[in-house]
Amino acid sequence: MKRYYEVRLSGAGGQGLGLAGKVFSEAAILADYNVCQTQSYGPEARGGSSRTDIIISKKEILFPNCRNLDILLAMNQESADKFSRDVVEDGIILVDSTFVNQLPEGRVYAYPLTKRSTEEFGTPMPANIMALGMLAALARLFSIDIWVKAISMSVPKRFLEMNLRAFEIGHREGREILHVEEGRAPLAYDRKQPVPKVLKDQG
């Protein structure tokens, strides 16, 4: 991992980006990074645009907002259009293709997070955590047990199991993408591949 990351999680209000940002920040602290997370949202409770900026660094963080993104999650078309130009050259963009059909330029990964979440769990709720799972795999961020701990710290108990499963799905799909991208044989795509031990214990 690098010593400094700028991450933006963006989409519509109500997609759980604030919570995802909190999980990300908790994970960064567990991995002994300094963290600064800011939020930006409109006065609406749902809808409108919402984003959270996270800077993680081994050094002191001065200005709290992102300017050159290493990682961007865009969960709707508007934020994909608006923020993709802030991403650095080799930065990662993950879009939720349930809502984003015009892909921005750059190193873009598209996955129907919300659709998959609805299929698996009957609710779009854990799409945010699924996205974190994918980002964790794609950007090779933190170890799995750190993520599990961070999720357990931030998510209400009754939704914990669902969110951990969502994270696992995201992480596996992310690894799958990387395997294909890096020219290795794809993992067996039967959804029966070994689950990491920490996830099993928690589940």
Partner 1 sequence: MSVPWGETRLVQGNEAVAYGALAAGIGFFAGYPITPSTEIAEVLARYMPIMGKKWIQMEDEIASISALIGARIAGCKSMTATSGPGFSLMQEGFGYACMTEVPLVLVNVMRGGPSTGLPTQVSQGDVMQARWGTHGDHPVIALAPAGVKECFELTIRAFNLSEIFRTPVILLPDEILGHMRERMTFPEEEEVEVVEMPVPDVPVEWYEHYHDSANNVSPMATFGSGYRFHVTGLMHDAQGFPTRKKEEVNAKMARLKQKITRRLKELEDVRMHNMEDCSVVVFAYGSVYRSALAAQAILKKRKKKIGIFRPVTLWPFPDRTVKENLDSKDVIIVPELNQGQMIHEVERMTKDTVRVIPLHRVDGYEITPEQIVDAVMEVI
Q: Does 34 bind partner 1 (CB under 8 A)?
A: yes
Mention every residue, 6+ apart, whose C-beta is less than 8 A from residue 10: 17, 49, 50, 51, 52, 72, 73, 74, 75, 76, 79, 82, 83
Whole-angstrom Cα distance, residue 189 to residue 203? Answer: 21
What does the DSSP 8-state code read for residue 101?
Answer: -
Q: Minimal distance in Å, beta carbon 28 to partner 1? A: 8
Q: Pick the piece of the chain touching partner 1 (CB under 8 A) from 18-26, 74-82, 160-168, 192-200.
A: 18-26
Q: Pick the piece of the chain touching partner 1 (CB under 8 A) from 39-47, 93-101, 166-174, 181-189.
A: 39-47
Q: Does 35 bind partner 1 (CB under 8 A)?
A: yes
H or E stretch covering 198: helix 197-202
Q: Minimal distance in Å, beta carbon 54 to partner 1? A: 9
Interface residue with partner 1 among 4, 14, 39, 187 (CB under 8 A) is 39
Q: Pick the piece of the chain touching partner 1 (CB under 8 A) from 17-25, 72-80, 136-144, 183-191.
A: 17-25
DSSP string computed for 114-176: HHHHHHHHSSSTTHHHHHHHHHHHHTT-S-HHHHHHHHHHHS-GGGHHHHHHHHHHHHHHHHH
Q: Minimal distance in Å, beta carbon 22 to partner 1? A: 7
What does the DSSP 8-state code read for residue 179?
Answer: H
Provide the mask over 59-78, with x wherever binding to partner 1 is found by CB under 8 A and - wherever it is not. --xxxxx-x-----------
Q: Does 58 bind partner 1 (CB under 8 A)?
A: no
Whether 26 and 150 have beta carbons less than 8 Å apart is answered as yes
Q: Which of 63/105 has CB closer to partner 1?
A: 63
Q: Which of 33/99 has CB closer to partner 1?
A: 33
Whether 6 and 55 have beta carbons less than 8 Å apart is answered as yes
Whether 6 and 33 have beta carbons less than 8 Å apart is answered as no
Q: Which of 26/168 has CB closer to partner 1?
A: 26
Binding footprint of partner 1 on the chain (CB under 8 A): 21-22, 25-26, 28-29, 33-43, 61-65, 67
